């Protein structure tokens, strides 16, 4: 298995992982890591939350449609 992919796919994957780890920390430790690092509902934390949400939507789309960078060239 190779880790090739476009930069967008890699960024989406990283953001989904950040979101998953943050939700895990909230569920297990009752600690919002994004808020702890960037401040509670600051512009920076809102941007991170927004980007994680968009990344989640893109991951949903990727379940049904393959990224063009993953298609084999004929």
pLDDT in tens, 21-30: 999 999 999 9
Nearest CA to 11 among 63, 67, 65, 64? 67
* Predicted model pTM: 0.79
Residue bearing tokens 């569920």: 27
Question: Is residue 5 scored above 80 in pLDDT?
Answer: no
Q: Give the separation between CA 40 and CA 54, rounded to whole angstroms.
A: 20
Structure tokens at 71: 């298609």
């Amino acid at each position: 298995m190779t880790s090739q992919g476009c930069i967008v796919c890699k960024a989406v994957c990283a953001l989904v992982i950040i979101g998953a780890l943050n939700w895990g920390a909230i569920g297990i430790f009752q600690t919002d890591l994004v808020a702890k690092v960037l401040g509670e509902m600051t512009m920076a934390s809102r941007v991170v939350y927004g980007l994680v949400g968009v990344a989640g939507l893109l991951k949903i789309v990727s379940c049904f449609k393959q990224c063009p960078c993953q298609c084999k060239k004929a």
